[in-house]
Chains A and B, each alone.
Chain A
Amino acid sequence: MNIHEYQAKEIFREYGVPVPRGEVAFSGPEAKEIAQKLGGDLWVVKAQIHAGGRGKAGGVKLARSPEEVEKIAEEMLGMTLVTHQTGPEGKKVEKVYIEEGADIQKEYYLGMVLDRSSEMPVMMASTEGGMEIEEVAAKNPEKIIKVAIDPTIGFQGFHGRKLAFSLGLSKEEIRPFIQFAEALYKVYMDKDANLIEINPLIKTGDGKFLALDAKMGFDDNALFRHPDIHEMRDLSEEDPVEHEAEKYGLSYVNLDGNVGCMVNGAGLAMATMDIIKHEGGEPANFLDVGGGASAQTVAKGFELILQDENVKSIFVNIFGGIVRCDRIANGILQATKEVEVNVPVVVRLDGTNANEAAEILKNANIPNIIPATDLADGAKKAVAAAKGEL
């Protein structure tokens, strides 16, 4: 789960990670009020969406008066921002963050993620702050310094010094930087984060470090012990169909193709998308209906897939293990009665009682249900059906 910049900064404040003063606003007048309250003569208005690259897309703007803050906020609210991370459809701006202007002397990058090789959290820093860090990683990987932190000893001074010296910080700057990094480590561990990115981290004219931006993601499996974080979830940032799927314990991701897929198990679901492509088609979605695959989950699966108007055929690919195929076949028949399925459905059931299942589907004699014998046969038929060749 991801949260907004303003929410991440609230958490940072709680842990003593220095951030500029600021507040979130939902309207122009509110934005103006906040600017007046913050005082000063320079403000930043920042669109709050779950995506990077806002600056280039016009989602971060400077203002020199509270009136200008109001005007910019009004323009920004309701507009759709398209950045390299939002996809072509973009994201609608529903709130803006009003922040005091900062005296930027130098920009850095500081981030934390789980390093799956060392199986420890790793802190990453770079002097190339404000840039696309993925671009830096691709072109100048040596400019990103990484320090793995063994959680059994926690963040130590040497971790901080290693980063600080690599960034070329002066003697006076090292202490505040290490304090900053240590507080950030504590946020990451305490909150079960799986990602923190501060880009840029700035050094101000008076030698302080401030998180000018803040991006945070969390381990979904740990949200049960963080009700405060769970409350920060913004459903308007998520695909409504994906969210609907989640409510029923299904895992759905919308894609661009026209062959709908319904599969049990994440690996087999990905493999099913792959084989559709391999046979010359394009998958319309990833859908894992889980180990159970009951009549109810299959019916819900059909509903989710058919919300996408591009879908021209559906490939049901289920490997029955503990759940017997004959029961799944009956579930599919039941589901087609509950949900109006107006495209061809290719069904491949393999595993326990596969022969009985094939018999059930054959005897049901429903014209748009096409049985398949194996994975390749199913994929071929589903692709042909989507092209209207079956």
Chain B
Amino acid sequence: MSILVNKDTKVIVQGFTGKEGTFHSQQCIDYGTKIVGGVTPGKGGQTHLGRPVFNTVKEAVDATGATVSLIFVPPAFTADAVMEAADAGIDLAVIITEGAPVKDMMYAKMYGTKKGMKTIGPNCPGIITAEECKIGIMPGFIFKKGPVGLISKSGTLTYEASNQVVKEGLGITTAVGIGGDPIIGLSYKQLLPLFEADPETEAIVMIGEIGGTLEIEAAEFIKQNITKPVVAFIAGQTAPKGKRMGHAGAIISGGQGTAQEKMEALRNAGVHVVESPADIGKTVAQVLGK
């Protein structure tokens, strides 16, 4: 078992024939993901990486039965691509693109929600169900199968955490990189119950960072609804106020969104909060008694 995606999930790629789209689609295919086609307006009818190319998402969905779209479309056109996916009946859009305007993503997410489509990202590594299905840009080999669900705002920190978990002799069910932009799709609060319901997931790792209040909301949710052990790390304990730390959302503004207040809220919710990012794997092993 896993959450959201598995070995049978049919995936199309928007921005299929571009440089990034081509490289990462090939990597996903090599991992075993069922990439069933792609969309590049104007290139419909061609074949790329041995898969059909379509002009529109609707055509791709009708022809292939895809339910997930992986999006590499450049920032100025990302929202358009997301809304096209929603309009075509896609269930889940995984948005890799970095640098999409916040206003665009605000509208795109609202429209996606209206059409019943979930989104992940933007500006994220994507989602991977270990040894089954990789929909994103993460290095697949790090994610060995095991009992730990992973939710993270940061890309390389996701790899770091998974690597530590695997080094402890454990592994991952599904890992979701949710991204660190001010507006993102699925977040802790929506993903935690999926892991709670997944019989193979025994523990959950959540990695947060400074800025916003998603981790605080997650803490409240965990307190009420989650029975599986949760291990958390919040990046940016040493970040100064008012300075943006790389991610568009990673800024402490008006004294809000500090690592300390998030760690405190999570601790109060019974979460195992680690202060050092080197202790994530160890702590997971401890709480699972392994």
Contact = CB atoms under 8 A, between A and B. Distances in A.
Interface residues of A, number: 54
A270 B107 contact: no
A221 B246 contact: no
A269 B278 CA distance: 13
Given A286-B246, A351-B139, A352-B139, A319 B160 contact: yes
Nearest to A250: B246
Given A222-B102, A350-B163, A374 B107 contact: no
Contact of A267 (B27, B75, B107, B207): B207
A34 B100 CA distance: 41
Given A270-B250, A319-B160, A253 B235 contact: no
Given A85-B242, A278-B275, A194 B102 contact: yes
Contacts of B109: 119
B65 interface: no
B71 interface: no
Contacts of B275: 274, 278
B276 interface: yes
B10 interface: no
A29 interface: no
Contacts of B229: none
A117 B217 contact: yes
- Max count, chain B CB within 10 A of own CB: residue among A117, A275, A379: A275
A16 B99 CA distance: 31
Given A266-B246, A271-B233, A138 B255 contact: yes
B235 A271 contact: yes
A322 B246 contact: no
A114 B277 contact: no
Interface string B94-122: 00000111111011011000000000000
B142 interface: yes
A251 B142 contact: no
A85 B254 CA distance: 11
Contacts of A192: 101-103
A134 interface: yes
A119 B247 CA distance: 17
Interface string B239-263: 1101111111110001100010000
Contacts of B153: 267
B160 A268 contact: yes
A78 interface: no
Contacts of A194: 102, 182
A267 B163 contact: no
A263 B159 CA distance: 13
B44 interface: no
Contacts of B249: 116
Nearest to A220: B248
Nearest to B213: A117
Contact of B278 (A116, A255, A352, A375): A375
B239 A134 contact: no
B156 interface: yes
Contact of B238 (A263, A266, A283): A283
Contacts of A272: 277
A166 to B, nearest CB: 20
B245 A269 contact: yes
B156 A270 contact: no
A157 interface: no
A342 interface: no
Contact of B159 (A220, A255, A283, A351): A351
A356 interface: no
B236 interface: yes
A263 B255 CA distance: 26
Contact of A152 (B99, B110, B210, B247): B110
Contacts of B202: none
B110 to A, nearest CB: 6
Nearest to A152: B110
Contacts of B217: 117
Contacts of B76: 224-225
A288 interface: yes
B242 A274 contact: no
Interface string A361-377: 00000000000001110
A321 B180 contact: no
A137 B254 contact: yes
Interface string A130-151: 0000100110000000000001
Nearest to B237: A274
Nearest to A219: B102
Given A225-B76, A352-B141, A267 B155 contact: yes
Nearest to A274: B237
B154 A265 contact: yes
B233 to A, nearest CB: 7
A221 B75 contact: yes
Contacts of B106: 114, 119-120, 151
25 contacts: A116-B183, A116-B212, A119-B110, A134-B254, A194-B102, A194-B182, A221-B100, A222-B104, A225-B76, A251-B246, A253-B240, A253-B245, A255-B238, A265-B246, A266-B247, A267-B235, A267-B247, A270-B250, A271-B233, A271-B277, A272-B277, A274-B238, A321-B137, A351-B159, A351-B163
Given A263-B156, A319-B160, 7 more contacts: A221-B99, A253-B240, A253-B243, A267-B247, A268-B157, A277-B238, A321-B142
Interface of B: 27, 75-76, 99-104, 106-107, 109-110, 137-139, 141-142, 152-160, 163, 180, 182-183, 207, 209-210, 212-214, 217, 233, 235-240, 242-250, 254-255, 259, 275-278
